[in-house]
Amino acid sequence: MLYDPPEGQASNTKLMQFVAGVGVSFAAISAGTALGWTSPVLSQLTPVVENGTTSSNSTDGFTITAEEGSWVGSFLAIGAFLGALPAGVLAEKIGRKYTTMSLALPYLLSWALIIFANGAGMLYAGRFLIGISTGASCVVAPMYISEFAEISIRGALGAFFQLFLTVGILFVYAIGPYVSWVLLSVMCAIFPALLIVAMFIVPESPTYLVKTGRRSEAAVALKWFWGPNCNTQNAVEAIQSDLDAVKGEAKVSDLFTKAVNRNALFIALLLMFFQQFSGINAVIFYTVPIFQSAGSTMDPAICGIVVGVVQVLMTFVSSVLIDKAGRRILLLQSSFIMGSCLVVLGVYFKLQADKADVSGIGWLPLASVVLFIISFSLGFGPIPWMMMGELCAPDVKGLASALTVMFNWSLVFLVTKTFGTMQETLGADWTFWFFGFWMAVGTLYVFFKVPETKGKTNAEIQALLGAK
């Protein structure tokens, strides 16, 4: 039997919440390694033509064409789109804990397909399967974390998903150029194995347990997350109150017919839209040429590591600031500064295309790229994922999160596939200005429409969104 301390003597501890956040975030590291994998690997698998002679860096028996390489990258986004909705449904059926644990299995199977691949077909299958797990991770991990984090650190823990995603990408950027792609894949498979171990330790979400009528188990879970001196009775009653306010199982139509759900979903979708239309992929694509235009002779692999380190450090800073500064101010600085940097980059490439002498301002695009990545990592990198878990009511959270993630991955596929065409038809200058325009729109949208959720309970957030 559980005993709560007398009223006035209850206290919460945060250590185990951070431990649980790290454990759940092995799913994010696994997703990050999947996302970063193509960067060092495709150069090893794709033949290089120099002076009419074709050569290959691959030491593992086969090569792929540039077109096949494009599909190796794109199949992840397709799988992620298809993996999101089933993950949301599964999280409501078997719980957040066991859904997260189950994601390790397709991760491991996909890495096995990639490790033993003998051609593009097996790579396609492995990348598609790893995409399913990646999309599912994007749904379940932020949802899980938002349900065990207490209000005072919910923002910091909510930023863990993006933080550990960048850790996974940095791992691949740092290791990939110096080992064979098969060995890299073997090393990447370690993280989903660690996810299984972590999920054996971390309890189920207290919100899910209360929702399924297991209040005593929810109290035990809260003691684990919040410490033995927490007041579980008050916490369980607060969770029950939030659930009672929405009553019953949600239908898909509830997302659109109820104003509060519709507003939450619309904000989550638009935050994801502005995240992808920030042009983050365009900027990272141009990182090496920008470094070179600044007079740097740095190896491209080192450029990637520098970008990865900046992303990790600044996302960590965001996790520290997010519960102090708030969500809105970090989003506003992010969209405004990124838009400014994109305008500067567009001007630089316009001058370069017009054959102007830009040697004296080579530092300007380099500074713009670094500032852009810092600003993205502080705001539009982590916060849309965190707010996705905050905005939605408990009865529609799984479904809304799944639809939001599906939308995000649709945009990833769209932007990635059309970027090359935009670059050829519009030029680098107008491509950057195009994304800069959307950042201006994003700044206005955040200022006028996105509510501040810092320090607010679920019921208070629903009230902000229009609940009675």
- 207: buried, middle or exposed (CB in 10 Å: 19+, 13-18, 0-12)? buried
Phi and psi of 89, rounded to 5°? -65, -45
Taking each helix axis from N to C end, the angle separating 38-45 and 66-94, rounded to the nearest 10 degrees, works out to 150
Residues forming beta bridges with residue 53, ordered by sequence position: 50
| Lookup: tokens for 140 | 């379940």
CA dihedral 242, 246, 249, 251 (to 10 degrees): -130
pLDDT average per 10 residues of sequence, the chain (468 residues): 63 86 95 89 72 53 79 87 90 92 96 92 94 93 90 86 92 91 95 96 93 90 88 86 70 77 92 93 72 69 85 91 90 96 90 80 82 93 88 81 90 82 85 95 96 85 75
- Given a contact cutoff of 8 angstroms between Cβ atoms, the answer to whether 342 and 279 are in contact is yes
Distance between CA 164 and CA 386 in Å, rounded? 13
> Residue 313 in 3-state DSSP?
helix
- Given a contact cutoff of 8 angstroms between Cβ atoms, the answer to whether 335 and 439 are in contact is yes
- Given a contact cutoff of 8 angstroms between Cβ atoms, the answer to whether 113 and 125 are in contact is yes
Q: Which positions ≥6 away from 383 have C-beta within 8 Å? A: 159, 271, 318, 322, 327, 330, 331, 334
- The DSSP-derived string for 328-342 is HHHHHHHHHHHHHHH
Distance between CA 201 and CA 211 in Å, rounded? 21
Find, among 139, 132, 153, the residue nearest to 96 by Cα: 139
> Residue 54 in 3-state DSSP?
strand
DSSP letter, residue 159? T
| Gap between the terminal Cα atoms of the chain | 37
Distance between CA 79 and CA 144 in Å, rounded? 22
| Lookup: tokens for 155 | 């923002």
- Given a contact cutoff of 8 angstroms between Cβ atoms, the answer to whether 99 and 90 are in contact is yes
Q: How far is CA 462 from the centre of its chain?
A: 24
| Lookup: tokens for 357 | 């002498």
| Lookup: tokens for 80 | 């992620």
pLDDT at position 247 is: 60
Q: Letter for the amino acid at 145?
A: I
Distance between CA 11 and CA 235 in Å, rounded? 12
233-280: pLDDT as tens digits: 888 888 888 787 766 566 677 778 788 888 999 999 999 999 999 988
